[in-house]
Amino acid sequence: MPVLLRPALCLSLLAVAACDEIAVADDPAALAEVRGQKTCVKAVSEQTGAAGVALNTTLPVIETNYFIIDVPNAKSWGCLTDDAGRAAQIVERNA
């Protein structure tokens, strides 16, 4: 990739990543949920060292501030966040 295109690509990706937070900026609960999803994915990715870690959107979650994070070719993780949306606890799931 040409050197000049890299900064443009990075800036466009940052803009897209910020859009979801801007869309819910007026709703503190929704903003905490979006931030919680991001921090949980980041925490599990850092813990496992795996690429392609993603939020599971198919399993129903009843608990507040709890997310299931999928790791490719491995077990899923559960992530509990604080009220500000920061990952507070991550645990590898048995199921």
Q: What is the pLDDT along the chain (95 residues), one digit of tens a residue?
A: 455 444 444 334 444 445 666 666 677 888 888 899 999 999 999 999 999 999 999 999 999 999 999 999 999 999 999 988 999 999 999 86
Confidence (pLDDT) at 28: 82
Q: Are 43 and 60 in contact (CB under 8 A)?
A: no
At 93, is the secondary structure helix, strand, or coil?
A: coil
Confidence (pLDDT) at 19: 64
**CB neighbour list of residue 91: distance below 8 Å, 6 or more residues apart:** 77, 78, 79
Confidence (pLDDT) at 30: 82
**CB neighbour list of residue 51: distance below 8 Å, 6 or more residues apart:** 45, 72
Confidence (pLDDT) at 15: 42
Walk me through the domains of the chain, giving residue ranges and CATH numbers.
27-92 (3.10.450)
